[in-house]
Structure 1
């Protein structure tokens, strides 16, 4: 799975020693916010000191994060784990640029469609957008409505 957006929080790194293997471990959480009309936020984790150094995620960066979702149970409760396995910083900085136009909506005059996207036709304006208005109901209450 992937999510594209801006890093809005870099949380402190956590670490410890595995009780099972005795090896040290390190993880760090980040929050990314999408560029949708109603932005969504997602907290994801990078596990392993090597991956944390390799990704080198900084506050305010625009990126696409590839991740896996897993779930685990602890004391009768279930918790989601969103673990990143890759990042891509080669994204377009302006949201909405290069996105396919909405079907049935013509692009603005003088604006070329995004490369690789077929232009769409303008909507048919000859059809009336609403049915014709009906005459108001009679005052004598014979319109069949209970009120």
Structure 2
């Protein structure tokens, strides 16, 4: 799944427990009719993906939905959901350099048409 939007917040990396579990969270605001502010977490080596991004940047984030069950001390099951990011890409702004397709007259063709071959197309 993918989420696109503008980065609203990037938190510092957090480390938990003796194992050194790493987590870093960001908030992306979607650009739909009713914008959503989605908290997306990056864990372990994926934390480093956020280093080159800043607040206000438009991005596309590849995500997985995660869910888990926790049984509280009274024996009642509680359920938690998380959005976990595993890839992030900047969105190209319209009109940005390099975004325009190359003109057709500058493209090289690799196949040549033999004028001696019969044209068997029905139109």
* TM-score normalised by L of structure 2: 0.64
CA contact (8 A) 2:7 2:57 kept: yes
Question: Structure 1, residues 50-103: CA drift from partner, whole Å, max 9, x if none?
Answer: 3222332322121000000010112221110111010111x2336xx9xxxxxx
Structure 1 residue runs of 4+, over 6 Å off? none
Aligned residues between the structures: 90
Once residues 4 and 84 of structure 1 are traced to their aligned partners in structure 2, the CA distance between those partners, rounded to angstroms, is 12
Q: Which runs of 5+ in 2 are unaligned?
A: 96-100, 102-123
Shift of 1:46: 0.3
Greater share of helix? 2
Distance 1:15 1:55, change over 3 A: same
Once residues 46 and 5 of structure 1 are traced to their aligned partners in structure 2, the CA distance between those partners, rounded to angstroms, is 17
* TM-score normalised by L of structure 1: 0.54
Once residues 33 and 55 of structure 1 are traced to their aligned partners in structure 2, the CA distance between those partners, rounded to angstroms, is 16
1:55 aligns with 2:50: yes
1:25 aligns with 2:26: no
